[in-house]
């Protein structure tokens, strides 16, 4: 008779959390389960928890599906009780809560408000299985309301990574650690105004915690955690279980429908952070806006199979450059136009002004002249001094002329911007070229020094080469590539005369600029360089 009795198991007290998402259903209709068997897994933005069964029996119905948002008291499963279960639990009520969520051992259902005490406690680092570990993520801030088992910080030692869960529920008063700190057992993480039930064991907040939450990267589960030497060359994981991310990031990914295995992690030792997700989505949106889809990834190759290799970490600048270049290359239909400018007049002027240059202690290279004529060309051809508006329905015409110049530095390519080039004379420009190039090489450029460019010049003249196709520095729409000037025979109508010819290549965004615009612009530059004396009387 007892075996015919049914029981509705409902969602228990979730420690105050509401609308918590079902991320996994661990049972199926027909399953026979014992008391404390896991029924479902819930995950909020702060923690995940397993809901165990309070009764033994056979599942006859499941009332939730993955993705549902549930609250305390919601029907979870229908159970046909086994005899033992019934005799064990004599209650005849129609609904029963399962046992408390597994990690909430200090929050029993009956923790009535009257039994609660408020106390200020220091939450300390528990036994972490090694002497010390580095803080790689701080997940709380002062003022946060936390529920017992919420992740507070993520730690990583040389052997393992783990999230430290809150031992109590309450309000964070003060966070005493920051990313990069090295912590040991007993160090204070935060001060919390804790809501404690009057049970002695809940007072001991610094004592051993339960292991990190079920879907969290456990020390031994961080299978995709590369060794330190590889820490900056993390590839996306191939299996979701291998993804090294906390519950908040996983939850956000699920909400946004992002496959975390596709997201490149930039956190310490390959940990996926919220920013990584945002960057991934931003790039995906920008590709979609431009009509582009996903591009097939280049398959990973084990180069070591073919000979000795060395893994060299990319610098931050290398990574930024790679991302910018790829974005530009994928978004911008590039066309490159070539021409040659006669540098004889520029050389003549540099020669004439040698004494002045020495006196001013400024080295006047062809670059200052190029900056000057490019500014004139941009004023004359405003289409080249524009950007595509992100609404894709306007061009943004700039009334200022700021020009970026590519500088080769030991840490990678940087493009500082010279402001108001049209308003500066050759000496000022030459001076700024020297100063900014120096700053770039010393790694002293500030973000503001590299922003606001309208157009760029990439000069490889001092290095060599007859021509190249530079990549547009988006959102700019054109870039001038400068190669090495060489003496060439020039026909003057009667005879060949030697001329110093400067190869120029203009790459442009064909969405904004057509070939005729670019042709006129480059011709203007070529003519202006030959006629620079009429613009610049004495520099």
Q: Catalog residues that contact ligand COA under the rule CB under 6 A.
A: 365-367, 405-408, 413, 433, 437, 458-462, 470, 482, 484-485, 502
Tell me whether residue 252 or residue 490 sits nearer to ligand COA (CB atom). Answer: 490
Tell me whether residue 345 or residue 482 sits nearer to ligand COA (CB atom). Answer: 482
> How open is the CA angle 364-370-372, to the nearest 5 degrees?
90
**Residues constituting the chain:** 539
Q: Closest distance between ligand COA and the C-beta of residue 324, in Å? A: 11
Tell me whether residue 278 or residue 354 sits nearer to ligand COA (CB atom). Answer: 354
Tell me whether residue 173 or residue 460 sits nearer to ligand COA (CB atom). Answer: 460
| Helix H or strand E segment including 7 | strand 6-10
Q: Closest distance between ligand COA and the C-beta of residue 387, in Å? A: 20
Residue pair 521/478 in contact (Cβ under 8 Å)? The answer is: yes
Rounded CA gap, 140 and 148, in Å? 13
Give all strands (DSSP E) within 37-187, no chain letters. 38-43, 48-52, 57-62, 69-70, 75-81, 95-96, 116-124, 133-138, 145-146, 151-156, 161-165, 169-175, 182-183
Tell me whether residue 160 or residue 405 sits nearer to ligand COA (CB atom). Answer: 405
Q: Closest distance between ligand COA and the C-beta of residue 363, in Å? A: 7
| Helix H or strand E segment including 426 | helix 426-441
Q: Closest distance between ligand COA and the C-beta of residue 179, in Å? A: 34
Tell me whether residue 73 or residue 498 sits nearer to ligand COA (CB atom). Answer: 498
| DSSP-derived secondary structure letter, 106 | T
Query: What tokens appear for 125 in the block?
Result: 């680092």
Tell me whether residue 225 or residue 350 sits nearer to ligand COA (CB atom). Answer: 350
Q: Closest distance between ligand COA and the C-beta of residue 463, in Å? A: 6
Q: Closest distance between ligand COA and the C-beta of residue 482, in Å? A: 5
Of the candidates 55, 63, 390, 510, the residue annotated as catalytic is 510
Q: Closest distance between ligand COA and the C-beta of residue 366, in Å? A: 5
394 is catalytic: no
Give the count of beta carbons closer than 10 Å to the beta carbon of residue 498: 10
Q: What is the DSSP string of 293-346?
A: -PPPPPPP--GGGTS-----PPPHHHHHHHHHHHHHHHHS-EEEEEEEEE-HHH
Distance between start and end Cα atoms, the chain = 105
Tell me whether residue 262 or residue 469 sits nearer to ligand COA (CB atom). Answer: 469
Rounded CA gap, 176 and 190, in Å? 5
Scan for tokens 């299978």, then name that residue.
223
Residue 55, helix vs strand vs coil: coil
Buried b (16+ CB within 10 A) or exposed e, 37-58: bbbbbbbbbbbbbbbbbbbbbb
Q: Closest distance between ligand COA and the C-beta of residue 456, in Å? A: 9
Rounded CA gap, 373 and 524, in Å? 8
- Residue least distant from ligand COA (Cβ): 461
Instruction: List the catalytic residues.
Output: 510
């Amino acid at each position: 008779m007892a075996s015919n009795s049914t029981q509705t198991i409902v969602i228990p007290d979730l420690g105050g959390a509401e609308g918590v998402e079902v991320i996994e259903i661990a049972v199926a209709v027909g399953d026979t389960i014992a008391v404390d068997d896991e029924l479902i897994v819930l995950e909020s933005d702060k923690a995940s928890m397993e809901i165990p069964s309070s009764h033994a029996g056979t599942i006859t119905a499941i009332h939730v599906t993955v993705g549902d948002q549930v609250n305390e008291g919601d029907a979870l499963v229908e159970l046909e009780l086994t005899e033992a279960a019934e005799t064990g639990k004599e209650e005849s009520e129609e609904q029963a809560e399962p046992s408390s969520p597994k990690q909430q051992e200090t929050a029993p259902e009956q923790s009535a408000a009257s039994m609660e005490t408020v106390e200020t406690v220091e939450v300390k680092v528990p036994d972490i299985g090694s002497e010390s570990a580095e803080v790689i993520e701080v997940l709380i801030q002062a003022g946060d309301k936390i529920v017992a088992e919420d992740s507070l910080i993520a730690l990583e030692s040389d052997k393992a990574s783990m999230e430290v869960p809150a031992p109590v529920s309450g309000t964070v008063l003060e966070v005493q650690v920051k990313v990069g700190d090295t912590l040991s057992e007993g160090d204070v993480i935060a001060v919390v105004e804790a809501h404690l039930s009057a049970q002695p064991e809940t007072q001991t907040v610094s004592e051993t915690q339960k292991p990190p939450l079920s879907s969290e990267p456990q020390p031994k589960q961080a299978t995709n955690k590369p060794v330190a030497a590889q820490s900056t060359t993390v590839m996306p994981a191939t299996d979701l279980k291998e993804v090294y991310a906390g519950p908040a990031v996983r939850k956000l990914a699920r909400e946004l429908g992002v496959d975390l295995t596709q997201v490149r992690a930039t956190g310490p030792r390959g940990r996926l952070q919220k920013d990584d997700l945002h960057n991934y989505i931003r790039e995906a949106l920008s590709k979609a806006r431009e009509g582009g889809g996903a591009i097939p990834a280049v398959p990973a190759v084990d180069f070591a199979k073919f000979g000795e290799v060395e893994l060299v970490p990319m610098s931050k600048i290398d990574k930024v450059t790679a991302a910018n270049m790829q974005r530009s290359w994928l978004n911008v239909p590039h066309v490159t136009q070539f021409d040659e400018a006669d540098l004889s007049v520029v050389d003549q002027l540099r020669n004439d002004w040698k004494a002045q240059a020495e006196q001013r202690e400024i080295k006047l290279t062809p670059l200052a002249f190029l900056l000057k004529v490019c500014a004139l060309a941009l004023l004359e051809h405003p289409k080249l001094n524009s950007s595509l508006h992100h609404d894709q329905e306007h061009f943004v015409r700039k009334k200022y002329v700021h020009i970026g110049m590519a500088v080769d530095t030991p840490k990678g390519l940087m493009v500082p911007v010279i402001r108001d080039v049209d308003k500066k004379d050759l000496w000022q420009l030459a001076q700024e070229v020297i100063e900014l190039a120096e700053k770039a090489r010393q790694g002293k450029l500030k973000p503001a020094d590299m922003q606001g460019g309208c157009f760029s010049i990439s000069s490889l003249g001092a290095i060599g080469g007859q021509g190249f196709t530079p990549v547009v520095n988006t959102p700019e729409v054109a870039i001038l590539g400068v190669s090495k000037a060489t003496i060439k025979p020039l026909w003057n109508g009667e005879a060949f005369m030697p001329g110093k010819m400067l190869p120029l290549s203009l790459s442009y965004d064909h969405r904004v600029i057509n070939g005729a615009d670019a042709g006129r612009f480059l011709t203007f530059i070529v003519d202006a360089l030959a006629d620079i004396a009429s613009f610049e009387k004495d520099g």
